Amino acid sequence: MTQPPASAGESSFLTDIWYVAGWGHELTPGARTARTIMDQPLVLFRTEAGAVAALEDRCCHRAMPLSEGMVVGDNIRCTYHGLEFAADGACVRIPAQDKIPPTARVRRYPLVEKDALLWIWMGDAAKADPAAIPDHPWHNDPGWAWRSAHYDVQGNWQLLVDNLMDLSHLPYIHPRTIGGDPELHFRTPTQATRLADGVRVERRMPSSVPPPTYVAAAGFAGLVDRWQEIEFHPMFIRIHTGACNVGTGAYDGDRSHGLSMLGFHGITPETEGTTHYFWSMATNITQGDIPDLVFEQTARTFKEDQIVLEMQQRRIAREPGRPMLDIASDVGGRQTRQFIQRLFRAQRGEDTAAA
């Protein structure tokens, strides 16, 4: 279900949206890191005063990667000849030369830090509206404990979208952590709803045997009422899963007494065949080592998903035009791909109503 190959001169990436470029904690004051996004080599850095910035990773003088240099005050210095660039991409210092030509600059990409995430705009900078960056308040809520990670997936970004929008694979790929009875998963109706800016998928599994991670985290001794609520927005997915003891209000809005796991999934194309996967898992059970247990078992499940995605990518790469079958549980992924296709048409100027 990958994005069809782009025609000559056509982008295979959605450009005018906010993507996750990293975690804020990755950049301490004075730190910088190289990162490729949408085939564009970038340098992300934090000034000594604490501001974050993103520039193309190529000095305008002799094409040296700026990520090999160092942060000096509010600037990043090229390690080759010492040219310094401000956060807006303008060269502000050339050693042994007072005059700085106006062409001495590199491309700047809008970068905003919010809710512990670094959000980047890869398209037209004039269209970048920080107010459009989504909220993820669970990263700031003391009632939730969370951990985060960054995986480099050797697979196309849309394979990851497909995986996260369809959780019916859980009993097969993740039986030791968050899986469960395969028949129950496939008997569970999947409701998919088109939102103004995305797609929502909901699944309810009443009277279920709790999977191992749920038992370890919440101590469930009997059957539970489970839920899976997934929302896709370009370009991240939020997944709320969890369970309460049977008949205690899980489906009536009262879940405070149960286990909730709130996952954030930032999906950022690195290249056509590789993807940055920035994810966090928050839980409402904050006592003791439970947050670490939930994170470690979640990390194990996501590593299992990564293995699957990379095997898929290798097979798809052999026959990229070969069609793949949809089944009933693909309803959420199918609506999401249709939504993404509308965004691509709008990007090409064919369907402005989808923008």
Give the pLDDT of residue 189: 78
pLDDT of 61 strictly over 90: yes
| pLDDT grade for 170, boundaries at 50, 70 and 90 | low
Query: Which class for 275: exposed (0-12), middle (13-18), buried (19 or more C-beta within 10 A)?
Result: buried
**How far is the first Cα of the chain from the last one, in angstroms, to the nearest whole number?**
22
User: Quick check: 42 and 56 in contact, CB under 8 A?
Assistant: yes
Alpha carbon 211 to its chain centroid, in Å, reads 25
Tell me, what's the pLDDT at 4? 40
Angle at the Cα of 206 from the Cα atoms of 327 and 185, rounded to 5 degrees: 25
Q: In whole angstroms, what is the distance from residue 134 CA to residue 87 CA? A: 23
CA-based nearest residue to 239, from 161, 322, 352: 161
Q: According to the model, what pLDDT value does residue 87 have?
A: 98
- Check pLDDT > 90 for residue 145: yes
Q: Answer yes or no: is pLDDT of 186 > 70.
A: no
pLDDT tens digit sequence for 112-130: 999 999 999 999 999 999 9
pLDDT band with cut points at 50, 70 and 90 for residue 133: very high
pLDDT exceeds 70 at position 174:
no
For residue 117, what are the β-bridge partners? 23, 114
Per residue in 236-245, pLDDT tens? 999 999 999 9
User: Whose CA is closest to 223, among 199, 207, 240, 243?
Assistant: 207
For the stretch 268-310, pLDDT in tens is 999 999 999 999 999 999 999 999 999 998 898 888 888 888 9
Tens of pLDDT, residue by residue over 250-268, are 999 889 889 999 999 999 9
The number of residues in the chain equals 355
pLDDT on residue 275: 97
Mean predicted lDDT score pLDDT of the chain: 89
| Model-wide pTM > 0.85 | yes
Is 178 a residue whose pLDDT tops 60?
A: no
Q: Is the pLDDT of residue 185 over 70?
A: no
Nearest-angstrom CA–CA distance, 143 and 138? 8
Please report the pLDDT score of residue 171 as a whole number: 56
Whether 131 shows a pLDDT value over 50: the answer reads yes
Phi and psi, residue 312, nearest 5°: -55, -50
Tell me the average pLDDT across 170-188.
57
